[in-house]
Amino acid sequence: MTPVKKREAYTVSKVRVATTSLAGCFGCHMSFLDMDERIVGLLEHVEFSRSPINDIKHCEPCDIGLIEGALCNADNVHVLKEFRENCKIVIAVGACAINGGVPAMRNHFTLQECLEEAFLDEIGVDNPHIPNDVEIPLLLSKVHPIHEVVKVDYYLPGCPPSADAFLKILTDLLEGKEPSLPKEMLHYD
């Protein structure tokens, strides 16, 4: 339980990476963590800005922004724009960010129908009404992929992309190369 090493100040040379999940399932973040021990090596070159794995709540100027999830409410759009403004490179990660993914299945219905199903018509619902407090962000009438709202620099498909794919694209960028995904890492599922 004794700290073995005092934390050194972050060196300026590290590449700053921010990550976020919009309307997604966090599966892409899980897959990112699936690089297991290899994350230790990555941390020699990378430091994290805003990410669900730390307590930084807003995106600050960064080199790379990894964005999981589609856009389904006003807050998602706000966060996405914050990332675009602050990140030199924005990468759309996973099926939802790229084409809406499973959340986009709600586009087959009106938003009203979805809300009524969940909060009015559901089995065992008590006090049925649709939540409407000011604290709740407004929902978009349709779910959209992120490239329809901001410019996206690179795409990393998969549901989720594998840990190897994350590592490949980040390594390419760290080495100053144009990222490319070998065929065996290219999946849409």
Partner 1 sequence: MEQNRANLRRVAVDPVTRVEGHGKITLLLDDANHVREARFHIVEFRGFEKFIQGRPYWEVPYFVQRLCGICPVSHHLAAAKAVDQLVGVDELTPTATKLRKLLHFGQTMQSHALHFFHLSSPDLLFGFGSNLEHRNIVGVIEDYPDLALKGVRLRKYGQQVIEVISGKRVHGAATVPGGVNKGLTIAERDRLLGDINDVLAWSQDAVDLNEKIHTEHPENHGFGRLNSNYLSMVGGKGELELYHGGLRASRPDGSKIFDQFDYRGYYNIIREEVRSWSYMKFPYLTELGRDDGWYRVGPLARINSCDFISTPMAESARQRFKAFGNGGYVHDTLAYHWARMIEVLHSAEAIRDLLLDPEILGSDLVVKGEKREEGIGVIEAPRGTLFHHYKVNEDGTIKKANLIVSTTSNNQAMNESVRSVANEYLDGNEITEGLLNHLEVAIRAYDPCLSCATHALGKMPLEVELISADGETVDHIEKASSGAIKRTV
Partner 2 sequence: MNKTIKIDGVEIPFKEGQTIMDAALAADIYIPHLCHKPGLSPHGSCKLCTVDVNGRAASSCTMPAAEGQEIENDTPALNEVRKTITQMLFIEGNHLCPSCEKTGDCTLQAIGYHLGMLDGHFPQFYPRREVDASHPTLVLDRDRCIMCELCVRASRECDGKNVFAISGRGTKRHLIVNSPTGRLADSDIELDDLAAHICPVGAILIKDHGYEVPIGRRTFDLHSVAETDLDEVILTKARHHDEGDDSGEKEGGVYGV
**Contact footprint for partner 2 (CB under 8 A):** 92, 95, 98-102, 104-105, 107-108, 142, 144-145, 147-148, 152, 154-157, 159, 181, 183, 186-189
What does the per-residue mask of binding to partner 1 show for 101-140, with x meaning CB under 8 A?
xxx-xx-xx-x-xxx-xxx--xxxxxxxxxxxx-xxx-x-
Identify what 155 binds: partner 1, partner 2, none; CB under 5 to 8 Å per kind.
partner 2
Identify what 86 binds: partner 1, partner 2, none; CB under 5 to 8 Å per kind.
partner 1
Count CA atoms closer than 13 A to 186's CA, side-chain side.
Answer: 6
Q: Phi and psi (nearest 5°) for 155?
A: -120, 135
Contacts 24+ apart (CB under 8 A), 115-120: 115/139
Q: Are 52 and 182 in contact (CB under 8 A)?
A: no
Identify what 25 binds: partner 2, partner 1, none; CB under 5 to 8 Å per kind.
partner 1
Strand, coil or helix: what is 87? strand
End-to-end CA distance of the chain: 42
Report in angstroms how near the CB of residue 50 gets to partner 1 at its nearest. Answer: 7
